[in-house]
Amino acid sequence: MPSSRPLHLDLSPLVEACEADLRTCAEVWHQRGAQRFGLYAEEKPLFESGEESVKKTAVMRQSPVLLDGEARAFVRVHGPAKKLMQSHLDANAALFGRIFQLEHDNRVKTMYLAEVQKRLTNLHTFVHASRLMHQTIGDIISEMSRTTLDVLDVSGTFLYVKLLRPISASNHFADFSGAQGEIYLQQVQLTNCPQRAQFMPSRDSGEELLLVPIYVLGLIEGVSGFVDLPSRFTPFYEKMAEIMAEQIGARIEHVLLYDNILHEQRLTTEMELARQVQMHLLPQKQPTIPGLDICGMTFPALQVGGDFYEFLVNDQTFTFIVGDVSGKGLSAAMMMAMTRAILRSTASFAFAVMTPEDVLTQTNEDVYDDYNRVTTFTTTFMGQYDLAPVRDRLVIANAGHSPVLYCPLGEPSRLLEADAPPLGVLETIGVANHTIGFKPGDLLIVATDGFSEAENSADEIFGYDRLLELADQTRHLSAREIVKAFSEVATAFEGDRPQHDDRTIVVIKRLNPPDEDSSDVTP
């Protein structure tokens, strides 16, 4: 964009540039008898040649030098009247007028080219600034405001962005005092951000304010202001201002999106860490108990959940626990870690035999206040198998946990209902021990609702009936194979639908004694 500021026409440098031509011309006049030759502007000599004082008989002739149609100087000669041809002098004046005009135009064009080059450099800086990453919106505002000023070469620019509260404005007024800048800013804040580019007169200087809205994600979130003389605001200028405001908006959008991505990545990393911690809290290997085939596994969903299971072995008993904290995410994971720790320490109490009922009752008392505050609960199933002496039974207690599938040899599988609500619901839980037969060939599958509530694309739930059927179909397999089959069938049932909850399953199978036929049992 060419500058429309008038370039002051100063003759001195032009005369200096053409001094050799003036001297040649003067010599010709001196050869013809002229005593003095000169160029004058406003009665001051710009160039003079010849004698300081001229003879009394000498005459003076002069001719105007026209620039842009105006007489800006005169060429004068002094000498004998008959030697000085006015027509020659007029020709000289016309020639110098033309030379000066060309020199002047040349200078204007050179300056214009230099200015264009400067603008291009500034535009490059502006575009480059808009590509810098790791910037805050504050950085962008001050950077963009400064480079905008350079690109458009206006008296002042400022940026005001609502996104940074309470106030975020950057003033870059080239020729204005800070106080003047504050006045402009107040004007903008009073009128709110404009819907489209608009002009506003300034208070007392003769300048105008061009306000261009800044759109961020489709909403007007700020304004870019350009301060200058009204005559400077050409349509081209306006267009440039709009383009720059658009670029600033796009840049702010990038930063917001970039920040969002960073934030999400941070959350994902934290969730991943929580997930890893949670997985490390689960048993790292399957216990080896004579006469039992045991397998426990958790198949995590994308989001951290609150499933857990635990195996505890001492001289007298083998104890297993399966639990599920209601809800998902970090809060469920934290409650899971706490509940698991309390269950474990209660169950491992060294000075007395703690039955499942004792452990669940004690744990409920310990966690109730905390669960009340965070309003969640944990379903927990606990089973105990006597090791010395071995008995054909399991002692179980169930605080609100399902599904628990019991498959006695030769009978169809059935669901075991809880006899108390989950931990954390009632202050007095009222859970009790129950004894179920656990003879060779008997099987117990304790899963979490991630299995029963697996959902397919037709919004159907896997449900308890399918689980019972699956237990009957797989009961001849080893514990590990049963776990694998349950997981595969649930995953296949979901099809394209993502697994929305953790799935945990513990399979305990009573093996046939070694002296009996164990063809249907894999130890």
Dist. CA 34–CA 409, nearest whole Å: 140
How long, in residues, is the chain? Answer: 523
Report how many residues bind another protein under the rule CB under 8 A.
Answer: 31
- Beta carbons within 8 Å of 153's beta carbon, 6+ residues apart: 3, 115, 119
Q: How far is the CB of 503 from another protein (least distance, A)?
A: 13
Among 338-346, 355-363, 425-433, 478-486, the segment contacting another protein (CB under 8 A): 425-433
Which lies closer to another protein via its Cβ, residue 63 or residue 398? 398
Judged by CB under 8 A, the chain residues 275 through 334 that form the site for another protein are: 324, 326-328
346: which residues sit within 8 A by CB, 6+ positions away?
354, 358, 359, 362, 363, 366
The CA-CA-CA angle for residues 506, 511, 514, to 5°, reads: 150
Residue 332 falls in which region: left (phi positive, over 0), alpha (psi -120 to 50) or beta: alpha
What x-and-dash track marks residues 432-461 binding another protein by CB under 8 A? -----------------x---x-----x-x
Interface with another protein (CB under 8 A), residue from 33, 430, 495, 523: 430
Name which of 248 and 396 has its Cβ closer to another protein. Answer: 396
Q: Contacting another protein (CB under 8 A), which of 48, 115, 370, 419?
A: 419
Q: Does 375 bind another protein (CB under 8 A)?
A: yes
* Nearer Cβ to another protein (103/455): 455
Q: Measured from the CB of residue 473, what is the shortest distance to another protein in angstroms?
A: 22
The span from the CA of 75 to the CA of 193, in Å, is 60
Contact region with another protein (CB under 8 A), list: 133-141, 142-150, 260-268, 424-432 = 424-432
Closest to another protein by CB, 67 or 425: 425
Residue 61, exposed/middle/buried by CB under 10 A (0-12, 13-18, 19+)? Answer: middle
Asked if 359 and 382 touch (Cβ cutoff 8 Å), the reply is yes
By CB under 8 A, residue 471 contacts another protein:
no
Window of 17-25, 88-96, 115-123, 398-406 that interacts with another protein by CB under 8 A:
398-406
Q: How far is the CB of 305 from another protein (least distance, A)?
A: 10
78 bridge partner residues: 36, 60
User: In the set 291, 464, 472, 518, which binds another protein (CB under 8 A)?
Assistant: 464
- Which residue shows structure tokens 């296949």? 492
Separation CA 386–CA 130 (nearest Å): 72
φ/ψ (deg, to 5) at 215: -95, 130
Q: Token pair 């491992």 is at which residue? A: 348
Check the CA dihedral 84-86-90-93 and report its sign: positive
Give me the residues paired with residue 393 across strands: 437
465 binds another protein (CB under 8 A): no
Residue from 18, 407, 420, 489 that binds another protein (CB under 8 A)? 420
The only residue of 379, 384, 499, 504 in contact with another protein, by rule CB under 8 A: 379
Counting contacts by CB under 8 A, is residue 421 touching another protein?
A: yes
User: Does residue 425 interact with another protein by CB under 8 A?
Assistant: yes
Residue 32 burial (CB < 10 Å; 0-12/13-18/19+)?
Answer: middle
The residue assigned the tokens 């649930």 is 490
C-beta neighbour count of 176 within 10 angstroms: 19
**Does 417 help bind another protein (rule: CB under 8 A)?**
yes
- Give least dist CB 374 to another protein, A: 9
Residues 73-102 close enough to bind another protein by CB under 8 A:
none
Q: Two tokens at 520?
A: 């249907």
Q: Which residue has the tokens 């204007």?
A: 108
Q: Is 63 in the site for another protein (CB under 8 A)?
A: no
Residue 296: CB minimum distance to another protein, A: 20
Q: How far is the CB of 438 from another protein (least distance, A)?
A: 21
Q: What is the dihedral of CA 333, 336, 340, 342, to 10 degrees?
A: 110
Minimum CB–partner distance for residue 459 and another protein (Å): 8
Residues binding another protein (CB under 8 A): 324, 326-328, 372, 375-377, 379, 398-403, 415, 417-422, 425-426, 430, 449, 453, 459, 461, 464, 500
